[in-house]
Amino acid sequence: MVIVLLLSVVRAADAAPDFGPNVLIFDQNSSAADIKSQCDAIYATQERNEFGSERNAILFKPGSYQAVVKVGFYTQVYGLGMLPDDVTITGEVHSDARRSQNSGCLNFWRGCENLAIVPTSGTDQWTVSQAAPLRRVHVKGSLSLFDNGWTSGGFMADSIVDDRIIPGSQQQWFSRNSQWSTWTNGVWNMVFMGCVKPPDGTWPEKPYTSVEKTPVIAEKPFLYVDSAGNYSVFVPALRKDSTGVTWADGKPAGKSIPLDQFYLAHADKDTAASINTALGAGKNLLLTPGVYHLDGPIKVTRADTVVLGLGMATLNPQNGTSAMEIADVSGVRIACVLFDAGTTSSPVLLQVGESGSTQSHADDPTILYDIFCRIGGGSPGAAKTAVVINSCDVIGDHAWLWRADHGAGAGWESNPSTNGLIVNGNNVTYYGLFVEHFEEYQTVWNGENGRTYFYQSEMPYDPPTQDDWKNGSVKGWASYKVADNVKTHGAWGMGIYCVFNKDNIYCDNAVEAPKSPGVQFHNVLTFRLSGATENSGINSVVNGTGNPATKAVPKSLVLEYPAAQ
């Protein structure tokens, strides 16, 4: 009887949790042929599936594998070890741009994390743009970020590349707490924070902004399997003034949460009500891959709740509500969720804290990782604002907030959305913030002591006329707006671009902010990209400072604002 019971325990531990049909799990018993056939089948669907409903996660248990894993849309590849080197793939984890003449400018919504790659060619290929993070990856060779065409990414954190990184045509890139042997070049806006060996050179000779230490961050929670076959989610501890990766010297600091403390949600059967019931009972939440059509918001009310999405799990509000609301509590972690607006306009897709929140959460901040919002593109969609942060001390670690400029339902009247991000809380920090194409300010910062490290933004392509796109007598709407009453604010490494489809469209300022010694901007770029118009552009960089960006002279730089006296 004792032997039978022990065998039952082992078998229960070895059994995979119910992650649903869109999750593949490979182990050391998986043949190379089986890995190839199953991964290739996913890629056959996802290579060109920019606005499809399919979602996939590919998980590798600890061990060594021979594989070339091609990563298309809505596909994420994860190692299930405690350390990246616990899962080693010899071959490649590969994102290319052959579907569009080598341009990776549309290679969105995919990811890779928590594994080691030994590229057989010596170089791993990761041709991506927005919403395609690399996290906790160890490339035992070189890493190429382009495919001999344009790319417009990207984000990397807590990663090591043993040899060189080749950005190639990457227009912008944000690297945090990572290291490599050599970084070979840059185009417009490359920001390095807490990196061991940032490239030599500074603005304006090189497009590099380097910040020595990351002020405060806890790395993204991740799923792993222990030696007994038990699944847990590891929640890394908060670090302050950090440099380099968390795992170089072994297991990082943090805590493990057994998977039985998570509610495993499934898009084909769960509703907002069933998810909220589980959250209300004290469960954390794991969103298995799929598109969740919600008749109301998911409500996170308990401090230190973890919400972890797999395979670009997508929340789609149906009735004009928000998709998720987080109470003004400490220590919530929301990781890797795609918020996709419904056809009935929502006031906001993701709200953090109630209006008027003032409580300090400095010792245990809420952190948002890989938050992707989409208004239109897959179908007509509408939302007044993508993300509103009311709580104080929130940390954002990578976001792409996107009003669609192409796809189904993309047009000035078809996918209306006013703002991408509104920050009302104090002491909010964002690392790697991408906000694009909203119809007024892309980002509005009302809280005190806000900080942004790396900002990438395109203004809307589609204002019908200048009269339709004016803020009173001011032409256009600045991309980045700091409220007039704010006394302290800082931003480092900002790239703000315009492409206007109609002639005679201008924006007077890329950035508007109070003229105060405590409000400072470092290394701000504007660029007038090619378009169908002759007469259009950005008239100044910050508050009337900086040259125009026009067809004749498309780029303008401001190194410091206000300028040093």
Q: Which residues are catalytic?
A: 458
Cβ count near 465 (within 10 Å): 11
State the residue for tokens 């493990």. 256
Cβ count near 18 (within 10 Å): 10
State the residue for tokens 């509590």. 329
Report the DSSP pairing between strands 284-287 and 419-423: unpaired
Round to whole Å and give the CA distance between 314 and 287: 9
Round to whole Å and give the CA distance between 423 and 481: 10
Round to whole Å and give the CA distance between 320 and 240: 39
Query: Burial code of 115-132, b = ≥16 C-beta within 10 A, e = fewer?
Result: bbbbbeeebbbbbbbbbb
Round to whole Å and give the CA distance between 15 and 326: 33
Alpha carbon distances (Å) from 531 to 237, 499, 537, 541: 46, 6, 10, 20
Residues pairing with 264 in the sheet = 286
Stretch (H or E) spanning 7: helix 2-14
Residues pairing with 87 in the sheet = 63
DSSP letter, residue 305: -
Round to whole Å and give the CA distance between 504 and 475: 11
Mention every residue, 6+ apart, whose C-beta is less than 8 A from residue 285: 262, 263, 265, 275, 278, 279, 298, 300, 305, 306, 307, 308
Round to whole Å and give the CA distance between 380 and 361: 37
Round to whole Å and give the CA distance between 509 and 501: 19
Cβ count near 556 (within 10 Å): 23
Q: Which of 245, 247, 138 has the alpha carbon at shortest distance from 197?
A: 245
Strand blocks (E) in 84-149? 87-94, 110-119, 123-125, 134-139, 142-144
Residue 327 has which token pair?
A: 């109470």
Strand blocks (E) in 237-327? 239-242, 254-258, 262-265, 284-287, 291-294, 298-300, 306-309, 314-317, 324-326
Amino acid type, 374: R
